[in-house]
Structure 1
Amino acid sequence: MKNSMLTLALATSMIFASCVDRKTNDNGEVELEEKNQQVTPEDMFQTSGQEGETSPEDLAEINSAKKVINDYFDALERGETNEAYEVLSQSNSERTTPSEFAEKHANVETATVSYTTDPQVVKGANGTDVKLPFRYTILTKDGNTMSYNGSAMIVKSSEEDADYKIQGMTMTREES
């Protein structure tokens, strides 16, 4: 019993000593001083990280939207213009007839896509919209390179099993 009391007293003193600042005076003796710490109202609220952090649900939506863009350009690269055409929303202003679309994109040799800034996810009663900023570079079959910078609006209706579609791209051609 005496040993357990002594152990408890020693442990308590070690914990106390480790929780305070140690200072020595001119005689080499240790002076113990408690830390004085103020708690602000902001400290009372826990946050999950940085302000504006993207939720896991939004990250999943963003990744789905990026996949649509990647699939679109992969299809163009493979010459599968019908597949790329099907990724466009019915209301897409760039959606012409399938043959006009194929003719316009027939010269694509390779396409390189990179995502530039933070995308925006907006969920509403009609579905989910993702504004996806990106840059792409097209190498044509005749050796020309064209780079574009801007964003795409990728939309998914609220219907069950709906897929994302490209509603529109606002792109600006970069000077070479």
Structure 2
Amino acid sequence: MNENAFRAWIETWPIWPLIRAFGFSAYVWLFLTVAAGMLASLPFVPGKLRGILNIVHRQGARWGLGFLLLHMLLLSLDPTMPFPWTAIVFPSFADARSAVYGLGIFAFYGLIIVMVTSGAVKVIGQAMMIATGLVALRSGVVWSRLAAMGNLGYDEGQKGRGKEGKIGGQNPRRRR
């Protein structure tokens, strides 16, 4: 399949709803990850429930990262307003709404740092892993919430209408 055929096939997808769905799914999984980790650390949680919460904590982070990577991939494949990889990975390369994009990118960095340190717990020690997790939790929650709030209402005023004014018209993020 050549590049033009691949692009034509991608353009048949509902890219914008998929980008939003993957981003929201990542946010929900990461919320469940943080909530399960915090609940598992409480002293009155029984052992069986703590084990289940730890599984949700670990697997939720993996699912959240997977949905986040799909969100980022589709941002780069969006035919109406594609993002170059530099703008997706480095906050200073995003040209429009860079503050909101930067917050999301920093939240992504926080997730990666936590996952790397939790995988390297035998090398860096449990105390360092917990300290890194707490710093990432505090900063990541703030960054991801600010990024989500910055994206709220972005389509407000568009009312689902494209450039032609028809329902289901062009992508509402398209530059005009």
Fold conserved between structures, TM > 0.5: no
Q: Which has the higher helix share?
A: 2
Q: Which has the higher strand share?
A: 1
Which one has a bigger Cα radius of gyration? 1
Query: TM-score, normalising length from structure 1?
Result: 0.25
Query: TM-score, normalising length from structure 2?
Result: 0.25
